[in-house]
Amino acid sequence: MGKDSRSLQDLIENNRKWSKEISEKDPDFFPTLAKQQSPDYLWIGCSDSRVPANEIVGLLPGELFVHRNVANMVVHTDMNLLSVLQYAVEVLKVKHIIVCGHYGCGGVKASMENQKLGLIDNWILEIRDLYYNKRDMFNGLQTDEAKLNLLCELNVVRQVHNLSHTSIVQDAWANGQKLAIHGWIYGLTDGRLNNLNVTVNESKQLSETYRLDIDKQD
Ligand code: CO
């Protein structure tokens, strides 16, 4: 489908069809959903248009709370992310947080290059730090693609750790709330998700430096 082949009116018509199809299958779907949402999952993903959160995990409206930004970052001073996180954890009481990166991420790629892009260079600076600090891991890799994909994975792991270090997540654990943070990565070329198996679900898994629940006087 070409870039200009859809007008805004097409989008509204698509919406009418979508709404009609769902309502025909289940007339109570929208009225029930309008009363409350109770998603079990918070998704933190990249803004990339090729990684539509609900679609790739087959979840309906009401089932996935979503935050997306360039390169699926968890920046500790980002009020937007922190507000989403606090609401999801403390009010909606989601059981799982999925940080989902994707191979071929433009934000990650930019952090490996020296071209000046502007404001966004600051946003992705933590990925550049990661690339620099983990530079030894990249030595054996032959292609730019392999290097980019490794950094995409390392970035997901980093953001899982960043999330687990927040006071919001640590408070939830301290209160006995079940909450697991997972790192996944999505392949643009095959549409498949892979679990990076870096799940964190208790403060004991954190390095002592980051733990907020240790009474040093004990
Ligand atoms: Co991306």
Q: Helices in the chain by DSSP H: which ranges?
A: 8-25, 29-35, 53-56, 79-86, 106-110, 120-123, 125-133, 144-165, 167-174
- Cβ count within 10 A of residue 191: 11
CB-based contact 185:101 (threshold 8 Å): yes
For the annotated catalytic residues, the residue numbers are 46, 48, 50, 102, 105
1 CA distance to ligand 1 middle (Å): 21
40 CA distance to ligand 1 middle (Å): 24
- Residue list, CB under 5 A from ion ligand 1: 46, 48, 105
For residue range 25-79, list pLDDT tens digits in order. 999 999 999 999 999 999 999 999 999 999 999 999 999 999 999 999 999 999 9
CB-based contact 199:182 (threshold 8 Å): yes
9 CA distance to ligand 1 middle (Å): 28
Q: Output the pTM of the full model.
A: 0.92
Cα first-last separation, the chain: 64
What band does 4 get if pLDDT is binned at 50, 70 and 90? Answer: low
Instruction: Decide the pairing of beta strands 96-102 and 64-69.
Output: unpaired
The Cα 204–Cα 172 span in angstroms is 13
**CB half-sphere exposure, 175, CA atoms < 13 A:** 11
pLDDT at 216 over 60: no
35 CA distance to ligand 1 middle (Å): 33
